Structure 1
């Protein structure tokens, strides 16, 4: 069950607006990040045999989920609790959560050999935690827009969560609260902030920053557990003193944001061949987990050559290709009913009219 215990960096749900041109920069960023998500999952079985793969894994997990959460927060700035926004939250987040939570539970009964695993909506399984967290984050958006110091307050909440093992697993609340500061920061960002990190000077500085981060990750592999980057456990649950929680939370927040800025500085702002795929990253995110699960069940990682450098390269390329295919139009047509369901019949006439006009 290693693939179930590792966190996934999910994509922000697309928020298309009729009549407005999509920003290619954000679609490009989401596509590149979803590729990193899939590659990270593909690397997981290779970590025990390679310190280099483990270091790359740790580096990717240090920033790709924070990047997604920041972008999700940025695109949630318009959530005001109105009927239209709540309806979109139901169709774009809640219903896909119900569908895929059920599907993953039934699927992993087979792949993990746990026939009695219960179907429950209170304990998100594998990739679905992000949808549950996004639901909570968006509902609290009006609150963060009211308070004077939203990011510091969210950091206090995350710090308290990191020393609270009693939070339990309902709706993966531990992870929801520990990633909250990234979402709140996204709410506070403006277009000019993203323009700042896309300057040529920042792109050049990102090279030594990532090189240094990789060196630190290589050093940390035998010394630090990567579970800190998942943010799903308190310090005590990770076998550390309680005072580690605040220290690590604040340190990871600062270092992760630095890496997120470096990552975004390399994202092209123009339209590319993969820009359209960036609008469908939720498909790639939710569907690639089934491939990751079945790959272990069917023994795709059994050949010894996969644990050599060439094997790691092949695994990386295959993972990138698979998640790319899952974001394409044919796949979207097949699975639209589950990822972007239509619920016109469930809304009152006024709501249905708003859906049609959108």
Structure 2
């Protein structure tokens, strides 16, 4: 039997303030984390980076394209579902809003500026900077900001997942939404986030059973074979969830049908993927805390390689070259999640920014309460003198 991780799943509704958590010792913070989720985040971010590296190489290999289609069918859904699970505690309180700004808005502005500048100075093609038009990977930060802001609403409605699916289906048949904030993708990926909001730790334990792990083998084998068959027959644009049916050249009603079909397939593959995630502490477990760094940084490396034409080298379009690229990118994104990188870039990815915010009233009241005994003691000493 595949048992759950020995450490309990940390509840997002912690009784400790965010400041108290920040000042805890590393050992105590690590004990509060569940190795399973850190492992899942690390493995998902490696798949994201590898999938992006395969994109400029896949045209020459039907097998690689099939693997690309398979990975794209579940890697972002899995990442978004876990993000939704850990967004359950968002309630719009001052502390949570502060974290939303420092952990999502600030890195979005920084990297939404960095990517166009990279294209301008490395590729030589001037690229305008627009905070309303997410560039390359930054769409996820924009989407996560919107999803998390709407969390209280999804916790309020009676049937959140059917409603989210309805919105995604409508978005897949609406070509006039526009590209601002990448709203088509935000809306079409929404059901995975809402599903994550409504999951509980025991739901993850269900997919981590030994029977599910065994069943995942033929499921992935069939999915890979189906992907190989579908390569010349299906438009891979459906996997990106950023276009309507009409924009993909099919009648509007195909959009909702494909949205439902892809949601079911992605959910099944996500469950199979999670069944293979180790529940115990592994050598890469601590890297799960730095997946945002790996996500944002690997794009800069891959875009640089693309602009420099490195992917055009004939050797990389052969099986050994494709394997080499896969290994190099997996190692690179792993290094980007390490502690030294996080410490060096925390000022842009996870800045404190205490100077920009008012002190929380609850925190101020707690500090005044702590100071009162000392003041009373000083008054007694003064009276005695």
Report TM bin, short chain.
over 0.9
Once the 2 structures are TM-superposed, how far is the Cα of residue 53 of structure 1 from its aligned partner?
0.4
Residues 1:113 and 2:133 are matched in the alignment: no
Cα pair distance change 1:351/1:63, threshold 3 Å = farther
Q: Which residue of 2 aligns with 1:227?
A: 237
User: Contact 1:70–1:183 at 8 Å: present in 2 too?
Assistant: yes
Superposed, 1:242-281 pairs within 5 Å as 242-281=252-291
Aligned partner of 1:99 among 85, 102, 110: 110
CA deviations over 1:147-196 (Å, ceiling 9, x no partner)? 11100000000011001111001110000000000000000000000000
Q: Which residue of 2 aligns with 1:87?
A: 98
Aligned partner of 2:176 among 154, 158, 166: 166
Cα pair distance change 1:193/1:306, threshold 3 Å = same
Q: Which residue of 1 aligns with 2:46?
A: 35
Residues 1:65 and 2:76 are matched in the alignment: yes
Greater CA drift, 291-300 or 26-35: 291-300
Superposed, 1:277-292 pairs within 5 Å as 277-292=287-302
Q: Which residue of 2 aligns with 1:332?
A: 342
User: Contact 2:38–2:287 at 8 Å: present in 1 too?
Assistant: yes
User: Contact 2:123–2:308 at 8 Å: present in 1 too?
Assistant: no
Once the 2 structures are TM-superposed, how far is the Cα of residue 304 of structure 1 from its aligned partner?
1.6
Residues 1:145 and 2:155 are matched in the alignment: yes
Q: Distance in 2 between matches of 1:61 and 1:310?
A: 22
Q: Which residue of 2 aligns with 1:44?
A: 55
Q: Distance in 2 between matches of 1:177 and 1:308?
A: 38
Which is greater in Rg? Answer: 2
Q: Which residue of 2 aligns with 1:192?
A: 202
TM-score normalised per structure 2: 0.86
SS at match of 1:122: coil
Higher relative contact order (CA 8 A, sep 6+): 1
Q: Unaligned regions of 5+ residues in structure 2, if any?
A: 1-11, 22-27, 368-385
CA deviations over 1:232-269 (Å, ceiling 9, x no partner)? 11111111111110010000000000000000000001
Deviating runs (4+, > 4 A) in structure 1?
A: 351-354
Q: Distance in 2 between matches of 1:47 and 1:26?
A: 30
User: Contact 1:74–1:188 at 8 Å: present in 2 too?
Assistant: yes
- CA RMSD in angstroms comes to 1.7
Once the 2 structures are TM-superposed, how far is the Cα of residue 110 of structure 1 from its aligned partner?
2.9
CA deviations over 1:53-97 (Å, ceiling 9, x no partner)? 000000000000000110010000000111111111111111111
Once the 2 structures are TM-superposed, how far is the Cα of residue 133 of structure 1 from its aligned partner?
0.4
Q: Distance in 1 between matches of 2:314 and 2:361?
A: 57
Cα pair distance change 1:351/1:307, threshold 3 Å = farther
Residues 1:155 and 2:165 are matched in the alignment: yes
Report how many aligned residue pairs link the two structures: 341
Q: Distance in 2 between matches of 1:107 and 1:299?
A: 14
Aligned partner of 2:37 among 21, 26, 33: 26
Once the 2 structures are TM-superposed, how far is the Cα of residue 221 of structure 1 from its aligned partner?
0.5
Q: Distance in 2 between matches of 1:57 and 1:249?
A: 19
User: Contact 1:83–1:351 at 8 Å: present in 2 too?
Assistant: no
Once the 2 structures are TM-superposed, how far is the Cα of residue 25 of structure 1 from its aligned partner?
0.5
TM-score normalised per structure 1: 0.92
User: Contact 1:111–1:293 at 8 Å: present in 2 too?
Assistant: no
Q: Distance in 1 between matches of 2:153 and 2:256?
A: 24
SS at match of 2:284: coil
Q: Unaligned regions of 5+ residues in structure 1, if any?
A: 1-14
User: Contact 1:27–1:279 at 8 Å: present in 2 too?
Assistant: yes
SS at match of 1:45: coil
